């Protein structure tokens, strides 16, 4: 079981529309991602530049590279570093076990959504259909939704993936009811049958930032539930719940 996910920290409102949420997890910080498996200084700028030169040379893209140190690195060392870096980049772009979990959502779904305007109020219920498909060689899944929301036509689209280096899930959502984008990062537990995210989006009323906690719970191969909780002043309340049923 992974460690509990911390609540989203306070954010600079002015910067909120320019960058994803700055949420810290045990293994990484987003968007300034730390690579836990790479020792400090392992790829210092000068070494990185030498390795990059070697990669470009091997691809016949450059005729030569200037040394970034006072003394040129031995060709063998540059070749080794280039090969190691290429291996790391290849691993970073290869789907793994966490991507397989995401792929379980691939398919066509009917959805029933309940939305609450405030705690203790009756929910507004709407229905739609969603299609979830793999994109970019299976590194991400894309969801496209069509239906209604509060009696008005509604379309939405989202991407979700797992970052092999940062060791965390990322998601982004945008739809026809908002000009903003909703970013979130998260982790999973219980054999990835439960996923928990923390994210944020702009507040259309105040122009500030709203913080959310997202929970996605599998109900077997043919169903799952997605819940959104709004967070403020040290507490939270549920604003949305969507049940997905496979077609």
Residues 61 and 137 in one domain: no
Residues 86 and 160 grouped into a single domain: no
Pair 132, 209 in one domain? yes
246 burial via Cβ count (<10 Å: 0-12, 13-18, 19+): middle
Let me know if residue 152 belongs to a domain. yes
Split at pLDDT 50, 70, 90, the class of 83 is confident
**What is the distance in angstroms between the CA of the first residue and the CA of the last residue of the chain?**
32
Please check whether residues 211 and 104 belong to one and the same domain.
yes
Residues 123 and 85 in one domain: no
- 71 and 172 housed in the same domain: no
Tell me the CATH number at 162: 2.40.128.20
Number of domains in the chain: 2
In a domain, 26, yes or no: no
| Whole-number Å distance between alpha carbons of 108 and 224 | 13
Q: Are residues 123 and 174 in the same domain?
A: yes
* Residue 66 sits in the same domain as residue 185: no
How do 107-115 and 235-246 pair as beta strands? Answer: antiparallel
Higher pLDDT, 26 or 198: 198
Does residue 25 fall inside a structural domain?
Answer: no
Last residue of a domain, one of 92, 118, 149: 92
Residue 158, domain extent:
97-246
| 112 located within any domain | yes
Same domain assignment for residues 70 and 155: no
Q: Is the peptide bond before 31 cis (omega within 30 degrees of 0)?
A: yes
Q: Of the candidates 59, 92, 125, which is a domain's last residue?
A: 92
Structure confidence at residue 73 (pLDDT): 60
pLDDT, greater one: 4 or 196: 196
Q: At what angle do helices 75-92 and 45-58 cross, to 10 degrees?
A: 90
189 and 219: one domain?
yes
Q: What integer is the mean pLDDT of 121-148?
A: 96
Specify whether 113 is located in the same domain as 233. yes
The last residue of a domain, from among 92, 108, 131: 92
* Averaged pLDDT for residues 93-120: 94
For 209-226, what is the mean pLDDT? 95
* 170: β partners: 161, 185
Average pLDDT value over all residues in the chain: 78
Range 181-187 average pLDDT: 95
Residue 230: which pLDDT band, with cuts at 50, 70 and 90? very high
Let me know if residue 12 belongs to a domain: no
* pLDDT of the residue at 71: 54
- Is residue 104 located within the same domain as residue 74? no
Q: What is the pTM of this model?
A: 0.69
Strands, DSSP E only, in 82-167? 107-115, 124-135, 140-149, 152-163
């Amino acid at each position: 079981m992974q460690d509990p996910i911390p609540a989203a920290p306070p954010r600079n409102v002015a910067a909120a529309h320019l960058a994803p949420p700055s949420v810290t997890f045990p293994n990484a910080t987003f968007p300034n991602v730390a690579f836990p498996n790479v020792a400090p200084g392992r790829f210092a700028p000068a070494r990185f530049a030498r390795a990059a030169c070697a990669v470009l040379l091997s691809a016949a893209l450059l005729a030569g590279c200037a040394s970034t140190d006072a003394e040129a690195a031995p060709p063998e060392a540059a070749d080794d570093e280039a090969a190691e870096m290429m291996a790391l980049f290849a691993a970073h772009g290869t789907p793994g076990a966490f991507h397989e979990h995401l792929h379980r959502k691939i398919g066509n779904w009917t959805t029933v959504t309940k939305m609450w305007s405030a705690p203790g109020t009756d929910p507004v219920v709407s229905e739609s259909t969603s299609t979830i498909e793999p994109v970019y060689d299976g590194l991400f899944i894309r969801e496209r939704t069509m239906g209604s929301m509060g009696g008005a036509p509604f379309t939405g689209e989202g991407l979700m993936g797992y970052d092999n280096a940062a060791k965390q899930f990322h998601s982004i959502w945008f739809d026809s009811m908002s000009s903003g984008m909703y970013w979130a990062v998260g982790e999973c537990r219980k054999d990835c049958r439960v996923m928990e995210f923390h994210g944020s989006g702009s507040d259309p009323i105040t122009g500030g930032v709203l913080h959310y906690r997202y929970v996605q719970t599998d109900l077997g191969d043919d169903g799952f539930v997605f819940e959104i909780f709004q967070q403020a002043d040290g507490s939270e309340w549920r604003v949305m719940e969507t049940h997905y049923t496979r077609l």
